[in-house]
Amino acid sequence: MNNISRQYIYLLVVSLILFLFVLIFSFLVLIPEGKEYRIKRVEILSMNRDFREYLNFHTETEDTLQELRSKNRRIITAFEKTFSPSRFEKENKKYFSKLSVSTLLEPSIENGFAVYEVNTTSQISSPKSFYNFLEGVNKSAYMIAINFPIDFKREGESIKSSFTMNVYFNNKDINATASVSVNK
């Protein structure tokens, strides 16, 4: 036993202490942190996958929105246009011998849009001009729904027609007031 040198014993003791330190450090710090790291890594991978799915959904929705906006540009513009009875009469007088438009009620809110209910009385020479008017309304700058029944009465050489129509538009002032009253 005397053959073992002192330096060798010191080296052996220091090596043993270092080895014990590495083992203790591994079991107390590295292994628990490694488990936590793996758990967090799985969570991050899952979050990244969800993020990519949401990003793809957002992109698809944005593309659909842009496509619908471009396809329905005329309708969107028509909803933004405020109804003017005098302008409506001027634009559609060509279909009738006589046309008068009167507002029945002040604009009301229906499904988020302001709605005018308008009573229209007109005189036409033939039903064909009334059908031309209906086609013109479909292409007009307003969103209009003609309500039935449409009343036709013959008066001499002309036909008197009477009907009501709803004119829809997106009046920001009315909608802002409505959304405030709904939120109360």
The pLDDT tens digits for 137-160 are 777 777 777 777 777 777 777 777
User: If you average pLDDT over each of 18-32, 95-109, 125-139, which comes out highest?
Assistant: 18-32
| Residues 6+ away with beta carbon under 8 Å from 133 | 92, 95, 96, 124
Domain 82-178 - what CATH class? alpha beta
How far is the C-alpha of 153 from the C-alpha of 46, rounded, in Å? 71
How far is the C-alpha of 94 from the C-alpha of 122, rounded, in Å? 11
pLDDT digits (tens, 9 = 90+) for 118-130: 566 666 666 777 7
Query: Residue 113's CB: how many other CB atoms inside 10 A?
Result: 19
pLDDT at 174: 45
pTM: 0.48
Q: Where are the domains of the chain?
A: 1-71, 82-178
pLDDT digits (tens, 9 = 90+) for 40-92: 999 999 999 999 999 999 999 999 999 998 888 877 777 777 767 777 777 77
